[in-house]
């Protein structure tokens, strides 16, 4: 990361780090602060209380960090429910970028519409998505 930053590259790094920023001696916090990387989720939702991104956890251990110049290119960011697109014990972090501001005028379609899990013209998949999201939201109301 340091080498790429010295070459004036922007950075997007994410993963299951098995620790949160609040952990004592957090390695991911050290990576973020020593390289001036920011957590765009926290930037977008600064007052949201801590929650678990692993099925057995209460901390956000699945994190994406970016260089500050990329913040304006993030259109949407959020965590989907468990098992959103594939069976997993982690909640997926979904980021939608403004491709024009991120890459210039070139648009890259990473996932072709026929391969997406939720299609707006498929009433059953849309209803499933709404039901899962509603269930997640109502679970969190009492938290």
Over 50: is that where the pLDDT of 17 sits?
Answer: yes
Share of the chain above pLDDT 70, in %: 83
The string of pLDDT tens digits covering residues 105-127 is: 655 555 555 555 666 677 887 78
Q: DSSP string spanning 52-91?
A: -SBTT-SS--EEEEE-GGGGGGEEEEEEPPTTSSS--SBP
Contacts (Cβ under 8 Å, ≥6 apart) of 124: none
For 88-109, b/e burial (b = at least 16 CB within 10 A) is: eebbbbebebebeebeeeeeee
Higher-pLDDT residue of 83 and 5 is 5
* For range 10-23, the mean pLDDT: 86
pLDDT at 53 over 50: yes
Q: Which pair of structure tokens corresponds to residue 10? A: 């922007």
């Amino acid at each position: 990361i340091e080498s790429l930053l010295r070459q004036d590259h922007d950075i997007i790094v994410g993963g299951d780090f098995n620790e949160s920023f609040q952990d004592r001696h957090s390695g991911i916090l050290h990576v973020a602060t020593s390289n001036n990387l920011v957590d765009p989720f926290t930037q977008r939702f600064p007052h949201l209380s801590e929650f678990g991104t692993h099925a057995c956890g209460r901390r956000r251990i699945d994190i994406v960090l970016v260089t500050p110049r990329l913040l304006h290119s993030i259109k949407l960011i959020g965590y989907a429910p468990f098992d959103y697109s594939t069976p997993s014990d982690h909640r997926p972090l979904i980021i939608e970028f403004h491709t024009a501001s991120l890459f210039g005028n070139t648009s890259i379609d990473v996932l072709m519409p026929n391969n997406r899990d939720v299609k707006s013209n498929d009433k059953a998949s849309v209803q499933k998505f709404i039901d899962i999201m509603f269930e997640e939201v109502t679970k969190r109301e009492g938290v």
